[in-house]
Chains A and B, each alone.
Chain A
Amino acid sequence: MADIAFLLIVFFMLTAVFTSTQGLRFQFPKDDPSQLNVQPEEAIHIKIASEGQFQVDRVAMTIDEMGSYVQSKMSQNPEKPVIIQTDPEVPYYVMIDVFDLLKQLEVKNVSIPTESEIARWRALGFLE
């Protein structure tokens, strides 16, 4: 009897997978063409290069410098939008680190454009 009990224990221990059910949540904005005019010009533009270096508004920074830069901009304007443009070859966790940092700093307006959106903005002349 104890053998069977132990077999059952082992079975349930192996099938219990501790899955994560929490993460970063966000909403896509309405696909509104008028919003395009506002964002790229006055937004903080964070560019993540393929090696993982950060360029904030054209200035190379480390992640801590970026944190204080964003924080100082936020204290002047709490509604300041931030754009995270990530190079396709960058590992995913780098973008998550930046996004997490922005969420910690309570940035309300984070924009993570996809490649097709970036191409569209470039065609409209908003990005370099």
Chain B
Amino acid sequence: MKLRDQVWTIKAVVPTASMADIAFLLIIFFMLTTSFSPERTSVKLPESVVRAEVTEEASIIAVTADGQIMFTSGEEASEPLSGAEELGAIVQQIIELIPSKEFVIKADREAKYKDVDAVLDALRTNGAKRIGLLTRPEAASSSPSL
């Protein structure tokens, strides 16, 4: 056996037969876990330790850091509103149809309290009963930031 004439080349081969399988599994995972929420304004929610699940058909009122109000009654995509008065009129109509409708306030943590206060006021004076304030989870051991 003449070792000099034998050229040892190393071929690194990654079997790619299963790559498509993995890709399809990932697709199916994301297809099943994607839920198209009507309210997609990206907002930095405040943290809270105590959290309760809000109702599925809740109406969502988003308040951004600069005070812009977006509203959805839970069915269609959210639309911007000019202010709390417009919100008040819409809330009144909704309460007439469904008195127990839950309203969820999805406000940015840096939103001025007066913007959220105006929303709460509009909800209260137009007869809303159940309110939720959306938050993100916070560990109980971390101290609140100021």
Report the minimum CB–CB distance from A107 to chain B (whole Å): 11
Give chain A residues whose Cβ lies under 8 Å from the Cβ of B30.
9, 12-13, 16
Give chain B residues whose Cβ lies under 8 Å from the Cβ of A2.
19-20, 23
B-contact bits for A53-97, CB 8 A (1 contact / 0 none): 000000000011000000000000000000000111111111111
Q: How large is the interface on A (under 10, 10 to 19, 20 to 34, 35 or more residues)?
A: 35 or more
Give chain A residues whose Cβ lies under 8 Å from the Cβ of B53.
21-22
Q: Which of B7-15, B31-39, B69-77 contacts A (4 or more CB under 8 A)?
A: B31-39
* CA A31 to CA B129, docked complex, whole Å: 10
* CA A76 to CA B25, docked complex, whole Å: 58
Report the minimum CB–CB distance from B36 to chain A (whole Å): 8
Judge whether B54 and A100 touch: CB under 8 Å: no
Judge whether B129 and A115 touch: CB under 8 Å: no
Q: How large is the interface on B (under 10, 10 to 19, 20 to 34, 35 or more residues)?
A: 35 or more
| With contact pairs A21-B53, A22-B53 given, residues A9 and B23 touching in the complex (Cβ less than 8 Å) | yes
* Interface of chain B: mostly helix, strand, loop or mixed: mixed
| With contact pairs A9-B27, A24-B48 given, residues A96 and B54 touching in the complex (Cβ less than 8 Å) | no
Judge whether B20 and A114 touch: CB under 8 Å: no
Judge whether B112 and A25 touch: CB under 8 Å: no
A27 in the interface, Cβ–Cβ < 8 Å?
Answer: yes
Residues of chain A touching chain B, judged by Cβ–Cβ distance below 8 Å, are 1-2, 5-6, 8-9, 12-13, 15-17, 19-28, 31, 52, 63-64, 86-97, 99-101, 103-104, 112, 114-117
